[in-house]
Amino acid sequence: MSTDFQKSVWAAIDKVPQGKITTYSEIAKFLGKQNATRAVGTAVGKNPNVPSTPCHRVIPKNGKIGNYSAPGGTQEKIKILTSEGITILNGRVQNLNQIMHHF
């Protein structure tokens, strides 16, 4: 069973368009819970709607790829992001400021 908070995180993720990324902290800020970055990360990891709710588009604010709990793990996340036009170099998203989705 999912919580209302988890559902709000998944709804926020659904707003991130293909070719863009966002961060756990950006979602927390959008939800009015600036100190809930870790809770956002936990909710992202429990996303039951992979890949239709595109949690692969959520990364840490340092630009690293981060984890991916769906089958294939981080390598699958990199593959999907690359197929969406996101450039990854040495485990980091490139041009972060240009592709960041702000709510």
The confidence score (pLDDT) of residue 70 equals: 87
As a dihedral over the C-alpha atoms of residue 92, residue 96, residue 101, residue 102, rounded to 10 degrees, the angle is 120
55 is catalytic: yes
Active-site residue, from 27, 39, 40, 55:
55
For the chain, the structural domain boundaries read: 4-99
The confidence score (pLDDT) of residue 18 equals: 96
The confidence score (pLDDT) of residue 14 equals: 98
| Residue among 73, 31, 27 at smallest CA distance from 50 | 73
Q: Which CATH architecture fits 4-99?
A: Orthogonal Bundle (1.10)
The confidence score (pLDDT) of residue 102 equals: 95
The confidence score (pLDDT) of residue 6 equals: 98
- Report the alpha-carbon distance of residue 34 to residue 31 in Å, rounded: 8
pLDDT in tens, 20-64: 999 999 999 999 999 999 999 999 999 999 889 999 999 999 999
> What's the predicted TM-score (pTM) here?
0.94
